[in-house]
Amino acid sequence: MRYASNTRGRDEPSTASADEAWYVLGGGHVGEQIARYLGEAGHTASFVDDTHESSVVPSHSVDPTDVRALTETGIGPGSTVVVTTDDDGRNLLVAQLVRVHLEPDRIVVLANSPETVRLLEDAGHESICATTALSVSVTEAL
């Protein structure tokens, strides 16, 4: 069962280096946990959200749709952005804004609904389907 889509192919290792900057945009507690796990894996990770401040990981209290404010976080060439809000439409908007204005090396977008995966892929974004990933994790744990 496929729950992740990427341009490298599912079995290929990530080409991200440990010193590459990762930015997790939105998602409240979920986004914060993703940033924490990235940090524990040796990546430099920051959490960016206007509704949830973190004491666990470096964070910026910024609206992920505010390009001017995002510029001040350090997102740009050489970085990876993970968009994790709970609204698929907002995730697509944020991914497009980040791609056009900040030009990170890689953008990964959370699809909360399986129906959104194709839309994100058609827009040229790497996607991860939260519904399918959770279903697979629960099934494997049983």
Average pLDDT, integer, range 49-62: 88
Provide the pLDDT for residue 56.
85
Residue 30 covered by a domain: yes
Residue 12 covered by a domain: no
Query: pLDDT tens across 72-117, in order?
Result: 999 999 999 999 999 999 999 999 999 999 999 999 999 999 999 9
Provide the pLDDT for residue 16.
52
**CATH number, residue 50:** 3.40.50.720
Residue 2 covered by a domain: no
DSSP sequence for 19-74: TSEEEEES-HHHHHHHHHHHHHTT-EEEEE-SS---SSS-EE---TT-HHHHHTTT
| Mean confidence (pLDDT) of the chain | 88
Domain count, the chain: 1
pTM here is 0.84
